[in-house]
């Protein structure tokens, strides 16, 4: 993954769509899944959404209702994270950050219960219906749900533009490692750019 250059310009048009992953109160507030610098990334993501709200899809990670729900390893996961089940969280914690929720509609929302948004058939159907060829990806966390979104998009043949200043994680180390991984291993399918560069190219 390389930065835009004269030899590799960003190509964004009406077939491009912004996929914003899990920018929710669940991660921004003082929960056990707190992502400290989500609030720092939020204004950058908000600027991108505001430019093209009708070409934006938000995903939301919806936890289990209570411990004991889920299949396979998710059963143990929610025993470990019982404080992050819906019955334990304050009402509305699963909602998008207010700064972003105000764009819905025209922006769309797709809910999911696992890391990958592609396990929800509604997402791919929505993108195909809109003639999407390129996906601009922002959100949280770089090394978990954003990773799942990027790899699923690549598998489905979408050209991915990762907004480097529009993603965040609770781990600086693995955030940096993932940006390096995209650059070293997925340069032919994943392109990196800042939100400023994306906005300049997306007409």
Q: What is the DSSP letter of 97?
A: P
158 domain-assigned: yes
Q: What is the pLDDT of residue 187?
A: 78
5 domain-assigned: no
Return the axis-axis angle of helices 172-185 and 145-155, rounded to nearest 10°: 10
pLDDT (tens digit, 0 to 9) for every residue of the chain, 203 residues total? 344 433 568 889 999 999 999 999 999 998 999 999 899 999 999 999 999 999 999 999 999 999 989 899 999 999 999 999 999 999 999 999 999 999 999 999 999 999 999 999 999 999 999 999 999 999 999 999 999 999 999 999 999 999 999 999 888 899 889 888 887 888 789 999 999 999 999 98
Q: What is the pLDDT of residue 7?
A: 52
What's the rounded Cα separation, in Å, for the pair 99 and 6?
34
H helices of 97-170, in order, are 98-101, 121-129, 145-155
Structure tokens at 45: 């993501």
72 domain-assigned: no
What's the rounded Cα separation, in Å, for the pair 98 and 100?
5
Measured CA to CA in angstroms, residue 62 lies from 48, 84, 159 at distances of: 24, 10, 27
Domains contained in the chain, number: 1
122 domain-assigned: yes
83 domain-assigned: no
6 domain-assigned: no
Q: State which residues form the domain around 42.
A: 16-63+95-201
- Who's near 163: CB < 8 A, 6+ residues apart? 44, 45, 48, 136, 137, 138, 193, 194, 195, 198
Q: What is the pLDDT of residue 171?
A: 85
CB 28 within 8 A of CB 37: no
Q: What is the CATH number of the domain that holds 101?
A: 3.40.50.850
Q: What is the pLDDT of residue 3?
A: 44
Q: What is the pLDDT of residue 100?
A: 98
**How do the residues of the chain divide into helix, strand and coil, expressed in percent and rounded to 5?**
40, 20, 40
What's the rounded Cα separation, in Å, for the pair 118 and 148?
8
What's the rounded Cα separation, in Å, for the pair 28 and 47?
18
Q: What is the pLDDT of residue 2?
A: 42
Q: Taking the model in full, what pTM does it have?
A: 0.93
32 domain-assigned: yes
35 domain-assigned: yes
What's the rounded Cα separation, in Å, for the pair 62 and 46?
21
């Amino acid at each position: 993954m390389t930065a835009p250059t004269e030899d590799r310009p960003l190509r964004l048009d009406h077939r491009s769509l912004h996929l914003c992953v899990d920018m929710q109160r669940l991660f921004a507030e003082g929960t056990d899944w707190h992502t400290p610098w989500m609030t720092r990334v939020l204004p950058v993501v908000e600027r991108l959404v505001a430019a093209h709200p009708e070409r934006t899809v938000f995903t939301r990670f919806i936890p289990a209702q209570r411990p004991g729900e889920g299949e396979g390893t998710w059963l143990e996961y929610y025993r470990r994270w019982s404080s992050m089940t819906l019955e334990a969280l304050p009402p509305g914690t699963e909602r998008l950050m207010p700064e972003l929720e105000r764009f819905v509609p025209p922006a769309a929302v797709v809910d999911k219960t696992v890391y990958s948004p592609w396990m929800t058939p509604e997402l791919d159907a929505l993108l195909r219906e809109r003639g999407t060829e390129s996906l601009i990806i922002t959100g949280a966390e770089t090394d978990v749900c954003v990773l799942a979104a990027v790899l699923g998009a690549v598998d489905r043949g979408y050209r991915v533009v990762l907004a480097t200043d529009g993603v965040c994680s609770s781990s600086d180390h693995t955030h940096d490692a993932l940006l390096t991984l995209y650059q070293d291993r997925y340069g032919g399918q994943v392109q990196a750019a800042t939100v400023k560069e994306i906005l300049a190219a997306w007409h």
